Amino acid sequence: MKGKKLKLFIIVILFIVQSCSSNKQIVSSVPLDVLDTSEIIKNAKKAEVNFKNLRNRVKVEFNDGKSTQSIILSLRATENESLWISASMIVPIAKIFLDNERIIFYEKFQKTYVDQDISQLMRLAGIKKPVKLIQNLLFGKPLIEINNTGWERIKNSNFYVLQSSVGLQNTVFINPETFQLEQQRLYLPFISSLLTIDYANFKRINDNLLPTSVKISSMQGSTIISINLEYSQYDFPDALTFPMDIPEAVSYTHLRAHETGRNGVSRVMRLK
């Protein structure tokens, strides 16, 4: 009798353990067909970078197919709210501060200065939160937020691939083992351009798994522009400052919306 009770007890324990295990994240080095889109999205969101304040140093290499230029950026960010960048080429050359309603920009060589409300420009461009959009691009989050209704899964042997089914075509490639975003593609039909962003060399810092290498490629017809970003010195301070000391002898300018194309759909921002 005791033996039967012991056997029943073991079966119950095994059942409980198995039930608990089924709630854990499924980890596999290859995509699993049994994992539905909602589970992929849930695990990908858990793997996303989250921070209050972030600070790092970035080496940037720009190549337009004709020439290559390198600059160093000091970058500071509060998540989804503000972004500060100081650029240098041996000596400081520019500073920019951006929040979701305002831009301040100073360029040393031309001595140009911008301090402008950008809310109207962002509405024209259809962008609600420009800072969030830029930070998503820089730190490996989808440019268009993934959800359970606007995305469909595409068969792939190496990644979980999701593609937006409404609006702009955004395709994301998610690592099946870490659920980190390793590549995303955004097609811009109004300028016939394909934007591809690759994320690599992930490093765990605190509770975040962060890319230390980002490659941004823009292809429009036969023209290819690439920007390589190499991150170093990630830091998550309790507080940040955004110094924007502007010299007196500068020329004030401003951004304006400029429409192109027959139907006026394409709009870009430019200095005036």
The pLDDT profile of the chain, 272 residues, written as one tens digit per residue, is 555 544 454 444 444 444 444 444 566 778 888 899 999 999 999 999 999 999 999 999 999 989 999 999 999 999 999 999 999 988 889 999 999 999 999 988 888 889 999 988 888 888 889 999 999 999 999 998 888 788 999 999 999 999 998 878 899 999 999 999 999 999 988 788 899 999 999 999 888 899 999 999 999 988 999 999 999 989 999 999 999 887 777 777 776 655 444 444 344 444 44
H-type helices in the chain, by residue range?
2-21, 37-47, 119-125, 130-139
pLDDT of residue 25: 54
Give the angle subtended at the CA of 229 by the CAs of 91 and 184, to the nearest 5°.
Answer: 150
**pLDDT at residue 40 in the model:** 94
b/e per residue 219-243 (b: at least 16 CB within 10 A): eeeeeeebebbebeebeeeeeeebe
Residue type, 207: D
Report pLDDT for 185: 96
pLDDT given at position 263: 42
Torsion-angle region of residue 67: left (phi > 0), alpha (psi -120 to 50) or beta?
beta
Going by the DSSP 8-state scheme, the letter that residue 260 receives in this structure is E
Strands 223-235 and 102-107: unpaired
pTM score above 0.85: no
Which of the 8 DSSP states describes residue 51?
-
Strand ranges inside the chain, DSSP E: 53-63, 68-78, 82-89, 91-99, 102-107, 112-117, 151-154, 160-164, 169-174, 181-188, 193-205, 208-220, 223-235, 251-252, 255-260, 266-271
